[in-house]
Amino acid sequence: MTNTLIAVISISCFSCETLVNDVDPDLLPRSDSKLVVHGYLSPQDTVISIAVNLSTQLIGGSLNLSNNTTVSLSDATVTLSNQGKSISLPFDSKSGTYRIKATALPITEGKTYELKVVRNGETAESSCTVPKVVAIQSIRKDSVEARASSSLKDYLYHIVWKDPEGQVNYYRVGGYIFQTQRVQTGPTTFENMPNIQPLNFRENNRSGEFITDERTDGLLLVSIAGRAYTYYSQGPSPFTNQYIELILLSCEKTYYDYHLAVRNFDGNNPFAEPSLVPSNIKNGLGCFAAYNRSTFVLKN
């Protein structure tokens, strides 16, 4: 596995006016652009999607690790293979990714898939193996006093599951609140519209959604609380909860390492240490990995 240095910050105390001195970009080392590939496979997904971009050198400013500001490459050849069968993924201009229905190459637990991206004579490759699904056993629900008012409650949801014994496992937890929102559409008219809010799995300003069984192999695991916030302290809330969906991903180490590094990256802190983001793309950058999803629905 290779690593790419995503931010280098030069700190100087030579001036009383500033702690950060500008450096002439021409004096910094240059690197050639590389293919940046992102794709994730899951047996539960109905679409296979691969994003292909070009890397850019970061000189000052902040880095958007989600690739939302990069330009998608539409002239690559993207091929996905498994046990002698290969499919070519066409470019979808609407999403800016190479997409195809999962029925073209079913994603199956325990199987290994190879990815090849070719563009202008450059070839980037990777592979991933779909981990076994780990079922959610139960959900522990609790409540605490909301920040908006002592008369309101925020609800907390802990995900509980049994860790498979005898192997190292990597997990990611998450969840969503599915609501209807009463919206005024005219002087005297209102309409109920769908609204989806994520649960917040954070504790002491640190992400708690990534978990390993490094010291808890084979035990019953419990996530930190996913918090559903209550914001309205005066008057009736315009939101009506319909149901809560809790999610447990059993993921590859490559998926875990990459997303944990991205989540911990602080692009707004000028005094942050240089951050290393893992990559498992041969002759390129990015992440190609697999996960297996388990869900648990709580209805109101």
Task: Give residue limits of the domains in the chain.
Answer: 2-130+253-289, 136-249
Integer Cα distance of 76 and 64 in angstroms? 23
Tokens 């971009």 belong to 53
Give the pLDDT confidence of 197-250 residue by residue, as tens digits: 999 998 766 678 999 998 899 999 999 999 887 766 566 677 777 899 999 999
CA 71 to chain centre: 19
Integer Cα distance of 202 and 154 in angstroms? 14
DSSP assigned state of 25? G
Written as one letter, the residue type at 289 is: A
Integer Cα distance of 38 and 96 in angstroms? 12
Region at 84 (left for phi over 0; alpha for psi -120 to 50; beta for the rest): left
* Type and span of the H or E element at 262: helix 253-264
The pLDDT assigned to 204 comes to 65
The pLDDT assigned to 70 comes to 63
Written as one letter, the residue type at 280 is: N
Helix (H, G, I), strand (E, B) or coil at 176: strand
DSSP assigned state of 218? T
The pLDDT assigned to 236 comes to 67
Contact 136, 175 (CB under 8 A): no
The two structure tokens encoding residue 272: 């942050």
The pLDDT assigned to 96 comes to 95
Residues of the chain with pLDDT under 70: 1-31, 57-70, 146-151, 204-206, 231-236, 266-275, 300
User: What HEC string does 97-124 produce?
Assistant: EEEEEHHHCCCCCCCEEEEEEEECCEEE
Integer Cα distance of 173 and 40 in angstroms? 16
The pLDDT assigned to 198 comes to 92
Question: Does the pTM of the predicted model rise above 0.85?
Answer: no
The pLDDT assigned to 217 comes to 93
Q: In what order do the strands lie in the sheet with 77-82?
A: 85-89, 77-82, 112-119, 122-129
Q: Give 162's contacts (C-beta < 8 A, 6+ positions apart).
A: 134, 135, 137, 219, 220, 221
